[in-house]
Amino acid sequence: EIVLTQSPATLSLSPGERATLSCRASQSVSNYLAWYQQKPGQAPRLLMYDASNRATGIPARFSGSGSGADFTLTISSLEPEDFAVYYCQQRGKWPLTFGGGTKVEIK
């Protein structure tokens, strides 16, 4: 199965700063990668799909890039509600797999 490695495990930033999250796949998944946000006690929320497409209702400060095995989620200017855990997920090969998550915490 494809292993997705997210880094860093924790990102400590202040509101207004730029966040850059990485997701690396153990082999190419083309552009078949999504990002999710999860807050404590809530279900995950789809942010991006197929690497660079924002899901419905997702603010423009979220952007995704990458293809093959290296992907990035960027939050251009952190809002207070953006502090959460972020997961990547690939659909390039069965079984579907997720990364271990990056926690974006308030510095």
Partner 1 sequence: QVQLQESGPRLLKPSETLSLICTVSDDSISNYYWSWIRRPAGKGLEWIGRIFSSGSPNYNPSLMSRVSMSMDTSKKQLSLKLSSVTAADTAMYYCARGTKGVDNYFDYWGQGTLVTVSS
Phi, psi of 47 (to 5 degrees): -100, -55
Q: Does 86 contact partner 1 by CB under 8 A? A: no
Q: Does 89 contact partner 1 by CB under 8 A? A: yes
Residues 22 and 9: their CA atoms lie apart, in Å, by: 10
Q: Does 25 contact partner 1 by CB under 8 A? A: no
80 upstream amide cis, omega within 30 of 0: no
Convert residues 41-80 into a mask of x (bound to partner 1 by CB under 8 A) and - (unbound): -xxxxx--xx----xx------------------------
Near partner 1 by CB under 8 A, which window of 11-19, 20-28, 36-44, 74-82?
36-44
- In this structure, what is the dihedral angle of CA atoms 16, 54, 52, 37, given to the nearest 10 degrees? 60
Q: Which two tokens stand for residue 24?
A: 């690396």
Residue 78 or 89 having the CB closest to partner 1: 89
- Would you say 87 and 6 are in contact if contact means Cβ atoms under 8 Å apart? yes
Binding site for partner 1 (CB under 8 A): 1, 32, 34, 36, 42-46, 49-50, 55-56, 87, 89, 91, 94-101
